[in-house]
Chains A and B, each alone.
Chain A
Amino acid sequence: MNQSSAEQRTSPARAADSMESAARERVIRLAGFDQDGIADGPGLRCVVFVQGCPHHCPGCQNPQTWAWEGGAETTPSELRDRIFSTVLDTGVTFSGGEPFEQADALADLAQMLRPRYDVASYSGYTFEGLLKLSEKRPGVMRLLRSIDILVDGPFVQARADRLLLFRGSGNQRILDVPASLAAGSAVWTKDPAWVGEDGSARVAGAAFE
């Protein structure tokens, strides 16, 4: 996916996002919401699936989240209340859909959640792509500054591997976002909860014979 065609398919939600006045709350176009999720990051997590995606990766698990229309509208504070009511969950993951197409609204949400929750986001953009994108869209940087972990890059079918922890294909990385921003380049997280005790970010050898 090159940058320009992604631009052409850019989200109306994002457009609304950036135009929204600071006084009124931003809107999130939501494809789905899960609580007690165990597959999208360590611990029990709430997972916010946003609606709308420019990437259209072949083999995508959730093609129903591609369309910009569809889903349902909600607000950061509504989602915050749902997340607060779960009691058990200690983390929140943004998924989709492409979270960074609704960066401002999700940044609002992330800021309401931290530091009580650790916040992670998936993105079909790479970390480097997001840095570049942020030059035109300040919201992208706002969201990056509001999350702990980024699982970046598109799903690449040729590199699909079901033994990866919290990732679909081998090109994707699990990044420590504050460290990456500080360094100006992608830095893998060292958190064993994300990348396993052996740091391989794959299911440990002990998981099968």
Chain B
Amino acid sequence: MVTEILKRDGRLDSYDESKIVRAVERAMRDSGRSDFSSAATLGVKVSDELSAVSKDGRASVDEVQKAVETALVKAGYEDVAKSFRLFRADRTRTREKNSALMHTFDEITTRDARDSDLKRDNANVDGDTAMGTMLQYGATAAKEYNEKFLLRPEQAKAYREGDIHIHDFDFYALTMTCCQIDLIKLFHGGFSTGHGFLREPNDIRSYAALACIAIQSNQNDQHGGQSIAQFDRGLAPGVAKTFAKRYRTDLAEALSLLAPDGAAVPDADRMKAVFATAEARSGEKPLLGGSPAFDAALRADILAAAPELPEAALDKALAYARKTAEKETDEATYQAMEALIHNLNTMHSRAGAQTPFSSINYGTDTSPEGRMVVRNLLLTTEKGLGHGETPIFPIQIFRVKDGVNYNPGDPNYDLFQLSCRVSAKRLFPNFSFVDAPYNIQYYKPGHPETEVSYMGCRTRVLANVHDPDRAISTGRGNLSFTSINLPRLAIEAHGNEAKFFAGLDAMMDLVAQQLMDRFEIQARRKVKNFPFLMGQGVWLDSDKLHWNDEVREVIKHGTLTMGFIGLAETLVALYGHHHGESDEMQQKGLAIIRRMREYCDALSAKTKLNWTLIATPAEGLSGRFIRMDKKRYGIIPGVTDHEYYTNSFHIPVYYKIGAMEKIRKEAPYHALTNAGHITYVELDGDMARNVKAFEAVIRAMHDAGIGYGSVNHPVDRDPVCGYNGVIGEVCPKCGRRESDELIKFERIRRITGYLVGTLDRFNDAKRAEEHDRVKHGLGGSGSAGA
């Protein structure tokens, strides 16, 4: 007699014949039968069968299932037995699915981020914190759901098996990638974060604070980074307002001290009205660097109101007030920039798990106010955070433009030089180049929104087939992107070029369909799903929509983007060499990437949507694809024999090549990758000691037609004495050895465009890549003199 059942997880339960009867009934129903009475008879037969084989009154789940199947077949119910088997198989899959999900949760919960690649997928999230863990639970469950419910089977297979990578897949059903925020528009008349209304700011400090809040609020509505397109122009009005206020109060104060007793000079309160009148009369605002019409009107008004005030005293007061106000405004701006950088490095979004991915573009505003913003931002970046640490955020992008800041004599040339000095010490700013042919074609003088803006990691949005009159950077961004595993297509082609291109075309068809499917999901979302991005009119034209409207029409300003990884390995797999090694391979590489670009352009023409090609910033991806391909194809020299596939079109980091040669080889790919690109030059040594060399590299990039670039160089810091520079085993300043004590030197490195303070948060592939980086053109033999 069977009394107990042994379950899969080891627990014992009492044997219940009625459960078997119900399972048989279900199977009968599934196979279209209705003679349920025989189910009860079968139940008895199963119990008898089990009692016969069981010695201790126990039966396992498997034994029960087998007995049921046998009983069904014996009774002539072959079809019912079949549907019973299917039902059991389905239950098994579900069980395994659940347990796989639960095992992943278990890893997220119990393993240290140091030991878990899964938890370091995004170097900017601290996987060890409570909120970081909660974010990962959500992401893991969302991916599971998205794959099962939202992808077509062929897409799910391609994604699962590593033919493609769907970026930010956890946010598949929810958000778009990124947006270039237009601060001037946002601040005009004030804005709301959903928890209260913020008045239009009136001081540079408020401007800076609200700029941070804009980034933070928008970050909660998107899965990618947040960028301010025109940081200098956006904050310049704040400087002007601070100056006007200081000028006014300083003047009232100076007059009260300099005027003879009894003179009716305006006090601080009345001065407001006096300033307003002078502004109205002269049609000019009080400006940094001089506002002669305003000053003249002001002077006349004050003299008229206080005839007994000696003119000399007034002139003295005016001169003092202007000089003092300029100095105070400069100091206030410095403090505002310092606060902004501290803020962006400490504030959190996404349930507190992640610092917003913030970027700011600047460098072409030649107004004294805009220049004051940039100079102070750079100076505070150079100084570093509280203990001199290199700020990780925001990613700063200095926009280089001939005639504005590139050559001696250009109005902002001093700021370009300061940028070089700061970047040589702090790795930021990066440099973007408006003069590159594919950027300058959209540039309209007097329309800063037509200057190219980059999202820190590399994303670029400029052309607009949906609305060609608005080929601008501001208020737009990427909707979603998916990358293709190019090396695998090459491996599968076995050296057959035609086969490779056929495979590439088929893969692009698949990706295009998937991006279109995702677009459809995004298009059905409503303004209310993006309370800040759409609700506050940050996204282009979203201010024309109502709370419950679909965002379909306005997101057509965004880009649908294909990406790629590992061009170098692709070329090696196909032809035996990569594009760093010969000009012939360079032509082959360009042919592949051109094919992808032409595919996107053709789709744009057909659909009037912005299909673009990106040089994928490969973070988690750099290791994921190659791990799968190693398993599938084994070690192929030059292809799968590293821990990572090379980033987009880059020359492999382990390949020794001169800086100029690398720039020259990579520049043509910038022209093809209209959704974004970046070129890095690796230099070894303390760049801060040789700013001239740094500037030479940036100029070479500009002249070669690079769109966006930066120099990677080691930046170390000793937290004990505060020395910042290159540190080997011994700190040059205090002589401390790292191995002597527990406190390690901090080593700032760049990963996928973002700076990371320690290598701990690099995933395994990225750590290996960092390790392999060859400093361009250097043999590392050092100098005899040192």
Interfacial residues, chain A to chain B (CB-CB below 8 A) = 31-40, 42-45, 47, 49, 53, 60-62, 65, 86-88, 90, 93, 95-98, 122, 124, 151, 155, 161-168, 172, 193, 203, 206-209
Contact = CB atoms under 8 A, between A and B. Distances in A.
B779 A38 contact: no
Please indicate which of the listed interface residues B660, B685, B687 has the most CB atoms of chain A within 10 Å of its own CB: B660
Nearest to A47: B783
Interface in B346-397: 382, 384, 387-388
25 contacts: A36-B658, A36-B693, A38-B689, A39-B689, A39-B783, A39-B786, A43-B696, A45-B693, A47-B783, A49-B781, A60-B784, A61-B786, A62-B782, A62-B783, A86-B658, A86-B660, A88-B658, A88-B700, A95-B783, A97-B784, A124-B784, A162-B730, A163-B733, A203-B686, A208-B722
Contacts of B781: 31-32, 34, 49, 62
Interface centre among A35, A42, A165, A167 (most CB of B within 10 A): A35
Contacts of A53: 784
Interface of B: 382, 384, 387-388, 425, 658-660, 683-690, 692-693, 696-697, 700, 721-725, 730, 732-733, 776-779, 781-786
Contacts of B721: 208
B660 A32 contact: no
A67 to B, nearest CB: 14
Contacts of A31: 781
Contacts of B387: 209
A97 B721 CA distance: 35
Contacts of B730: 162
B784 A165 contact: no
Most chain A CB inside 10 Å of its own CB: which residue of B700, B732, B777: B777
Contacts of B722: 208-209
A32 B779 contact: yes
Name the prevailing secondary structure of the B interface residues.
loop
A112 B658 CA distance: 22
A63 to B, nearest CB: 10
Contacts of A203: 686, 688-689, 725
A37 B784 contact: no
Contacts of A124: 784
A49 B786 contact: no
Contacts of B660: 36, 86-88
B690 A38 contact: yes
A87 B681 CA distance: 15
Contacts of A166: 689, 783, 785-786
A207 B777 contact: no
A137 to B, nearest CB: 19
B777 A34 contact: yes
Nearest to A90: B696
Contacts of A193: 692
A167 B724 CA distance: 19
A34 B685 contact: no
B491 to A, nearest CB: 34
Contact of B786 (A34, A38, A42, A168): A168
A162 B785 CA distance: 12
A36 B692 contact: no
Point out which of B687, B692, B721, B782 has the most chain A C-beta atoms below 10 A from its C-beta.
Answer: B782
